Amino acid sequence: MPPSELCRVHLLGEHRELHAIWTILTQDKTGYRNHPETKRWEGKTNALFERHEALVGEMECRGYNHRSPIDRSLGVGPKKQDDLVDSIAKQRQLLRAKDCECPQ
């Protein structure tokens, strides 16, 4: 889902969670190692880096100061993530059901 479609809460939340996944995968940490969202990024930290940059781009468009870069050199695998826990359509449906400011 494009970061531009996320409300502030979900944009910043995904950014925070992405950093946790990055740390688990690049520093071989165990917390949430078996979570489906973490597992889908295994061997695809290049794609995770690209998602980070997309989130950061949207954050900066909204006027946020980003101060938590990640190291591109730790990225491996493809630059595109094709494995989704939920389809984009399902993700949009789930967001519509939440009480948030994500665009409908």
- Which domain range does residue 11 map to? 3-96
Between CA 63 and CA 37 the distance in angstroms is 28
Q: Find the mean pLDDT for residues 66-85.
A: 95
- Per-residue pLDDT tens for 11-47? 999 999 999 999 999 999 998 999 999 999 999 999 9
pLDDT above 70 covers what percent of the chain?
Answer: 99
pLDDT for res 95: 84
pLDDT for 104 beyond 80: no
Residue 66's identity, in one-letter code, is H
- Overall number of domains in the chain: 1
What integer pLDDT is reported at residue 85 of this predicted model? 86
Taking residues 67-72, report their average pLDDT: 97
- Considering all CA atoms of the chain, what is the largest pairwise distance in Å, rounded to the nearest integer? 38
Q: Is residue 78 part of a domain?
A: yes
102 in a structural domain: no
